Structure 1
Amino acid sequence: MKFLFVTKRSPQQRDLLARPYGRFYNLPVELARRGHEVRVLLCSHHHLLSERRAFEGVECISHDIRFLGPIGLRDYLCKEALVFAPDWVIGCSDAWYGPLAKHLARKVHACLALDAYDDYEAYMPWNWPLHLAWRDSLRAADLVTAAGPQLAQLLDRHRHGRAPTIVVPMAADAVFTPNDKAESRIALGLPDGAPLVGYTGSWARNRGTDTLLEAFELVRQQHPSVRLVLTGKPPRYATTQPGVIALGYVADMQLPLVLSSLNVACVITANSRFGRFSYPSKLCEAMACRIPVVASDSEPVRWMLKDDAQSLVPQGSATELAARIVDQLSEGAANYPPPPSWADSAAILEEALRCSAQ
């Protein structure tokens, strides 16, 4: 079959042409490996020239709304879709791409699929016109897929008797594999003998990350030698706390080394509309590296960890988070099942597309 994906160029602030990764890259590539013809339309808003690149059998075409204007972008995307003549148009990355994919699918008389990895309506709760357009595209779609069952149930509320949403799980990119702990620490300049607890996600108070600092202070009361390793750009009040090692932004290929250097990886979510339907990619990455994790207990995270109580902690509780970190430092082994691969998830998506096209 011929699949045309349409998504934003920089989901989660990462340029797919410069740094291909995640769901938006691996699902198209895995479908191409299965013998399908796959093309990806990328939309940006950074005043960039249109360009084309090929990755592992998938042609990616980027157009920019600020450079072309809304009507120009729509016309260019329609032209690309008409030339490719897909069997399926697949919209993903956020709510804007539901209505856009629906428009393209109608133009080329293709089936429409929508893929969601978050509750997109949580991003801009005030934007009701967009939410209504997203829900209308969910009703119109021949197939809807989601990163987990909780999100699938949420999307089904807007399907009004259409085929139920299919779960296509999140996975870690292939670079996330276990590495030797000592060698990983040497490569990153991290202390060899100290217990290392790490957090590699984005920092935001509304996601509960400040709880990690409170918990870390409690852990250090029992284990003064423990260190907290942070990546990215957390706030200064986090990086200047005693025992914190701030690595800053780390190259993509070094992120598996960061995880492999840790004794415990922390995944923090909050009891918010966003958090209740979040399937953290950072959790997939830590699981793929076989590092013990301590994760905020939400229904999606519990599902991802297959109810591994040893890894779960109530959201917002610094004392219980600290206690679970101490337990995991003593345990020293990852007991949860390995996560699915992108090949596994693509196989589910392929079967759903094949069945829905009949």
Structure 2
Amino acid sequence: MQLLCLCKRCPQARDLFTQPYGRFYHIPRLLAARGYAVHLLLLSYQNEPNAFHQEVNLHSHSVSALPWGLLPYMIKAKHLMIEVQPDWVIGFSDSWYGILAQRLAGRFGARCLIDAYDNYESYIPWLVPLHSQWRKALRQADVVTAAGPQLADWMSQSAGDRPVDVVPMAADPLFFPRDKIMCRNSLGLPVDARLMGYSGSLHPNRGIELLFQVFERLRKHLPDLELVLSGRLSKGINIPFGVHWLGYRPAEEVPLILNSLDLLFVMNKPSAFGNFSYPVKLYEAMACGVPVVASDVPGTAWILRDRPKSLARAEDAEDFVKKALAILERGERGDILPSGWEGSAATFARLCEIN
């Protein structure tokens, strides 16, 4: 079976061409391992040379949107449709790729699968024409998949009550338990302190100010507690004195950061984005055996449905403190959730074979 996957080159701030990552790379990779011939066509928003990389059955193409806009990507996509004659065109990562996948599939007689890991309509809510085309593409696609059941239900309603299958997020294979002291030493973090952490975009819409409030209150109970932050720092965010800010670190260091922690916080606000968010950091932390406390919003609550003690009422600092203290005072590691995208890739394969 021949597959053409459309995706931006840097979803979730990761460069798939140089640092393969997440569902956008590992699902195609595992489908290729099953014997499918997979072409992964990536759109770069940087002015960089077009590039090509080949693995067994997996062909990755990178096309730049600069300086000529989307035209070179469209030309390459049409060229691959003619040359490869894919059985399926798969749209990953944002509305535009799903819309393009459906149009290419319709024009060239292929089947179409559209996959979403977030509620893309929440990204630019005022861009109504794009959302209308997105919903039309969802209605006409042969298969639609979503990262969780809440998002699947929402997309089903948006597409006129069509079926939407769930393909969960997962942790990449490099996330597994490691020695905490070794990880702290490699990052220059204190080995004797209790460390709570947050990894991801340091942005007001993620509840970062709430995190700082929770940290200050927790320190009144646990004077040896310190806070570790990693990720991109947005303008207007003032990091409190004494916090360990590691900045935006390479992908290979993220497992070291998580394994250094006694507790990871995952903050989200109830919203059109937050309610349908399935934070991959939760999967990564649990694959490392790191305890978590996360905002009790629908998508996150589904991930932690077997770990209710890890859920705190969204935007409620006192409940976050309560849940965190219960974990930190016990000093236990979390239950280990195995990493890997094999299950999600198997679902993709089944959907492609039965439709």
| Same fold at TM > 0.5 | yes
Structure 2 counterpart of 1:314: 313
Cα distance in 2 for residues equivalent to 1:186 and 1:71? 48
Question: CA 1:353/1:231 → structure 2, altered by over 3 Å: closer, same or farther?
Answer: same
Contact 1:32/1:57 (CA < 8 Å) preserved in 2? yes
SS in 2 for 1:320: helix
How far residue 325 of structure 1 moved from its aligned partner, in angstroms, is: 1.3
How far residue 355 of structure 1 moved from its aligned partner, in angstroms, is: 1.1
Moved more, 9-18 or 79-88: 9-18
How far residue 101 of structure 1 moved from its aligned partner, in angstroms, is: 0.6
Q: Does 1:79 align with 2:79?
A: yes
Moved more, 199-208 or 119-128: 199-208
Cα distance in 1 for residues equivalent to 2:250 and 2:65? 29
SS in 2 for 1:67: coil
How far residue 14 of structure 1 moved from its aligned partner, in angstroms, is: 2.1
Deviations 1:18-57 (CA, angstroms, capped at 9, x unpaired): 2110110000001111111111111122233322112454
Cα distance in 2 for residues equivalent to 1:339 and 1:143? 27
Cα distance in 2 for residues equivalent to 1:112 and 1:4? 10
Q: Report the residue type matching 2:169 in the other structure.
A: M
Structure 2 portions without partners, runs of 5+: none
Q: Does 1:283 align with 2:282?
A: yes
Q: Trace 1:1-358 onto structure 2 (pairs within 5 A).
A: 1-55=1-55, 57-160=57-160, 162=162, 164-234=163-233, 240-336=239-335, 338=337, 341-356=340-355
Cα distance in 2 for residues equivalent to 1:185 and 1:229? 11
Question: CA 1:247/1:87 → structure 2, altered by over 3 Å: closer, same or farther?
Answer: same
Cα distance in 1 for residues equivalent to 2:234 and 2:86? 46
Cα distance in 2 for residues equivalent to 1:78 and 1:182? 52
Q: Report the residue type matching 2:65 in the other structure.
A: I
Contact 1:90/1:101 (CA < 8 Å) preserved in 2? yes
Moved more, 41-50 or 113-122: 41-50
Contact 1:86/1:108 (CA < 8 Å) preserved in 2? no
Cα distance in 1 for residues equivalent to 2:230 and 2:147? 25
Contact 1:208/1:316 (CA < 8 Å) preserved in 2? yes
Question: CA 1:153/1:333 → structure 2, altered by over 3 Å: closer, same or farther?
Answer: same
SS in 2 for 1:89: strand
Deviations 1:62-84 (CA, angstroms, capped at 9, x unpaired): 22233344344322210122111
Structure 1 portions without partners, runs of 5+: none
Question: CA 1:69/1:299 → structure 2, altered by over 3 Å: closer, same or farther?
Answer: closer
- Percent identity over the alignment is 42
SS in 1 for 2:139: helix
Q: Report the residue type matching 2:103 in the other structure.
A: H
How far residue 158 of structure 1 moved from its aligned partner, in angstroms, is: 2.9
Cα distance in 2 for residues equivalent to 1:181 and 1:340? 18
TM-score w.r.t. length of structure 2: 0.95
Contact 1:98/1:114 (CA < 8 Å) preserved in 2? yes
How far residue 112 of structure 1 moved from its aligned partner, in angstroms, is: 0.5
Q: Report the residue type matching 2:12 in the other structure.
A: Q
Corresponding pairs, count: 355
Cα distance in 1 for residues equivalent to 2:88 and 2:234? 43
Deviations 1:109-143 (CA, angstroms, capped at 9, x unpaired): 11000000000000010111100110010001000
TM-score w.r.t. length of structure 1: 0.94
Contact 2:193/2:224 (CA < 8 Å) preserved in 1? yes
SS in 2 for 1:48: coil
How far residue 262 of structure 1 moved from its aligned partner, in angstroms, is: 0.5
How far residue 204 of structure 1 moved from its aligned partner, in angstroms, is: 1.4
Contact 2:64/2:72 (CA < 8 Å) preserved in 1? no
Give the root-mean-square deviation of aligned CA atoms.
1.7
Cα distance in 2 for residues equivalent to 1:235 and 1:42? 27
Q: Report the residue type matching 1:261 in the other structure.
A: S
Moved more, 306-315 or 192-201: 306-315
Q: Report the residue type matching 1:268 in the other structure.
A: M
SS in 2 for 1:133: helix
Cα distance in 1 for residues equivalent to 2:274 and 2:211? 16
SS in 1 for 2:293: strand
